[in-house]
Amino acid sequence: MRYGKSVFFEPLTPVSRLTDEEHILTTTSELSEKQTTFSRLLTYLRPYRWRFALGILASLGEAASNGAIARLVQPFIDRIIVAQDRDLARLVPVIIILIAAFKGASRYLQQYFIKTTGELVVRDIRNELHYHTLGLSMRYFSKTPIGTIISMVLNDVAVLQGSVSTVMVGGLREIASLVALTGVAFYSDAKMAAIAFVALPLAGYPAYLIGKKIKGYSMRGQGAMGLLTKVLEQTFSGIRIIKSSATEDAESRNFQKRNRQYYHFVRKMVAYDAASSPVMEIISALGIASVLWYGMNRVMSGLMTQGELFSVLAAILLMYTPVKRLTGVHNSIQKAMGAAERIFSLMDTVPDVLEPKDPVGVGRISGKVAFQDVSFAYENELVVKHFDLVLNPGEVVALVGPSGSGKTTIAALMIRFYDPANGMITVDGFDLRHMRRADIAANIAIVDQETFLFNDTVAANIAYGQSGQSELSMDRVVTAARKAYADEFITTLPDGYETVIGDRGVRLSGGQRQRLCIARAIYKDAPILILDEATSALDTESEAMVQQALNNLMVNRSTLVIAHRLSTIQHADRIVVLENGRIVGVAPHRELLLQNDLYRRLYDMQFKQM
C-alpha cells in the first residue's frame, strides 16, 4: 500500500454565538458558511463538468416536453373538443407518443449523466477523506474514537451520496421544468400567471425554516450515528472479553440506548420533512384556486377561450409540481450540507506532525540515534522530561521503569509519531523533523506487543509496507520467516505462504502472530529496530522461541528495547532506568543491580518468587 503526502484545506472560520442585536450579522455569517461549504463541494464537480453539461442538456429536453404538453392543451380543447377538427384529432396519438418518447429519452440521459457525475464526486470525496485521515497524526487517533472516524468516512459520505443524487437529478429536472412551464404560463396569460406566483413567496419562508431544522437534526443524527458505530466497533473488537464476562445483555442495552438516540434525531428529520409537503399543498391550493376563479370569470366574460384557460391552468398545475418537489430537494440540500460540514471539519484537521518543506536527502543510515534534552507532553502533562540518550550503530539499549514512566512515548518520538515539545532527536546527525516520513519509516522497524496482521496472505503480511517493490520476493519472504522461526508453522497451513490468515490474524496463536511480525521486520531489513514489549503477552514456550527470533533480528542493528520482563534485557549493552519521564540510571545490568535502587526494586519484584 502506498501513501503520499496529504492534501489539506484552509480551515473554516467557526461561527460564534451572537447577541440579538447582531442577528443580521449572524444570518450573513451563516450564509457565508453555507456558500463556503457549497463552493467546496462544487470544486469536486469541476473534473466532470462535460458529463454534467450533458445532463443539463437532457434536463432541458425533459423540461421542453413538459412545456409542450401544457402549450398543446389549448389547440386540443379549442380545435378538437370545441371545433371538432377531425384531422388534428387523428394526429393526437402520434403527438402524444412522440412527446413521451422524447421525454423518456431525455429523462434517461439526464439521470444517467447526472447520477454518474454525483457518484464520481462522492467517490472522490470518500477517497480524499480516507487519504487525508491516514495522514493525520497519532495524537488525533489517540483522542478520537475509531468508531467516530469510521462513521464520518462511511455514514456521513453515504448521507452526502444520497443527497447529492437527489439534489443533482431532481433539482436540475425540477428547475428546468419550472422555468419552461412558467414561460408557457406567462406567454399564455401574464395576469393569471402573476396571480399564481403570489403564492410562491409564501411557500419560501416555511421551506427555509423546515430546511434549517432538518440540517440541524441531520448533523446531530450523524453525530449519534458516530457513537453508535463506536459501540459496534468496540463490541465486536472485544467480543472475547464480552463472551468470557457474559455481558452480552449489558452491551445490548448500551447499543439500544445509542440506537434510541439516533432514532430521536431521525424522527425529528422525518417529522419536518413530512410537514413540508402539506404546507406546500395548502399554499399551492390557494394559488390554484385564485387562478381558477379569475380565469373562469374571464371565460364567462368572453375575454378568453376555454382552451386558453385550460392551457394556462395546466401550465400552472404542472408548475406547482416541481415547486413542491423542490421543497424536498431543499431538504436534501440541508442534509447534504450537514454531512458535508462534518466531512470538511475532518478534512480541515491539520496534523501535528508535518512533512518538511525542504527535506534532507537520506538513504540508508548507519543507525546512530541521539535524543538531546527531549521533553514531551500529552495535553498539558509532561511525560518525558529532559531526556538525553545516544544509541550507537549496532548497540542494544533497553528502557525499563514503572508503568507510566515514558518508555513507549520515547519509542513513539523515535519513529516520529509525535514531535517533542522541546529538544531534538537526530538520526545520523539529521533532525527527524527535517526528514521525510517515508525515509524515517524505511530506516526503522517496529515489533510491539500489539501484533497487527491484515486479512491477507501470510506472504503479503510479511512483505507489508515495502511499497518501493513492484512485487514481493518469495525467496526473501521465506528467508525472513525462517529467521523468525515462523517457517515451521507456515508450511503446515492449508495454502502455506498463500494462506489468508483472517482479520488481525485470528486464525493464528499469539506466538505465531508475533513471529510473523518479527519476520516482517526482518524482511524490511531496517538499520534501526524498536522492540516494544515484544514478548510480554506470550507464554513461556512461545516467549523462548520468539526471543530466539528477536536475537536473529537484532544482529547488526541499533536496537531500542522496551520491556517489563527484565530477564529479556539482561544482555543489553546498556539499560536506561526511567521514573516519571526522567532518566534515573544508565548502566549494564550488573552495575544497575548494585547502584540503582529503583532497578534493584523492579528486579526483586520479578524474581523474588524464583
Q: How high is the pLDDT of residue 425?
A: 93
What is the rounded CA–CA span in Å between residue 579 and residue 384? 9
Q: Which domain holds residue 515?
A: 369-607
Q: How high is the pLDDT of residue 215?
A: 65
Q: Cα dist. 195→189, 290, 430, 444, 565 in Å? A: 10, 7, 77, 76, 87
Q: Which residues pair with 575 in a beta bridge?
A: 398, 587
Q: Is residue 524 part of a domain?
A: yes
- CATH code of the domain covering residue 312: 1.20.1560.10
Contacts of 288 (CB under 8 A, 6+ apart): 196, 313, 316, 317, 320
Q: How high is the pLDDT of residue 2?
A: 36
Q: Tell me the helix, strand and coil percentages in the chain, rounded to 5.
A: 65, 10, 25
Q: Is residue 90 part of a domain?
A: yes
Are 424 and 343 found together in one domain? no
Per-residue pLDDT band for 424 (boundaries 50, 70, 90) equals very high
Are 203 and 315 found together in one domain? yes
Q: Within 13 Å and on the Cβ side, how many CA atoms surround 196? A: 27
Mean pLDDT score across all residues of the chain: 76
Could you say which of 347, 380, 408 is where a domain stops? 347
Are 170 and 61 found together in one domain? yes
- What is the CB neighbour count within 10 angstroms for residue 31? 10
Q: What is the pLDDT of residues 355-382, one digit of tens each?
A: 888 888 888 888 889 999 999 988 778 8
Q: Is residue 359 part of a domain?
A: no
Q: What is the pLDDT of residues 285-341, one digit of tens each?
A: 666 677 677 767 777 777 777 766 776 777 777 776 676 667 667 667 777 777 788
What is the rounded CA–CA span in Å between residue 416 and residue 199? 63
Are 535 and 588 found together in one domain? yes
The answer to whether 559 and 395 are in contact (CB under 8 A) is yes
| Average pLDDT estimate for 395-407 | 88
Q: Which residues pair with 446 in a beta bridge?
A: 530
Output the DSSP codes for 2-23: --------PPPPPPPP--GGGH
What is the rounded CA–CA span in Å between residue 500 and residue 23? 60
Could you say which of 314, 347, 380 is where a domain stops? 347
| Average pLDDT estimate for 73-84 | 68
Sheet holding 381-391, edge to edge: 381-391, 369-378, 422-427, 430-431
Q: How high is the pLDDT of residue 370?
A: 93
Structure pTM?
Answer: 0.69
Q: Report residue 75 as a C-alpha cell.
A: 389547440
Radius of gyration of the CA atoms of the chain, in A: 35
What is the rounded CA–CA span in Å between residue 558 and residue 394? 4
Q: Where is mean pLDDT largest: 151-155, 193-197, 564-568?
A: 151-155
What is the rounded CA–CA span in Å between residue 344 and residue 351? 15
Q: Which of 341, 339, 354, 340 is nearest to 8 (CA)?
A: 354
Q: What is the pLDDT of residues 407-418, one digit of tens each?
A: 888 988 998 888
Q: Is 583 helix (H, G, I), strand (E, B) or coil?
A: strand
Weakest mean pLDDT among 46-60, 226-240, 369-383, 524-538: 226-240
pLDDT at 162 over 60: yes
Q: What's the structural domain count of the chain?
A: 2
What is the rounded CA–CA span in Å between residue 399 and residue 586? 9
pLDDT at 487 over 50: yes
Q: Is residue 398 part of a domain?
A: yes
Identify the residue with better confidence: 346 or 202.
346
Using DSSP bridges, classify how beta strands 582-587 and 369-378 pair: parallel, antiparallel or unpaired.
unpaired
Q: Is residue 227 part of a domain?
A: yes
Q: Is residue 507 part of a domain?
A: yes
Are 40 and 142 found together in one domain? yes
Q: How high is the pLDDT of residue 21?
A: 38
Q: Report residue 287 as a C-alpha cell.
A: 394559488
- CATH code of the domain covering residue 575: 3.40.50.300
Whose cell is 475532518? That residue is 346
pLDDT at 5 over 60: no
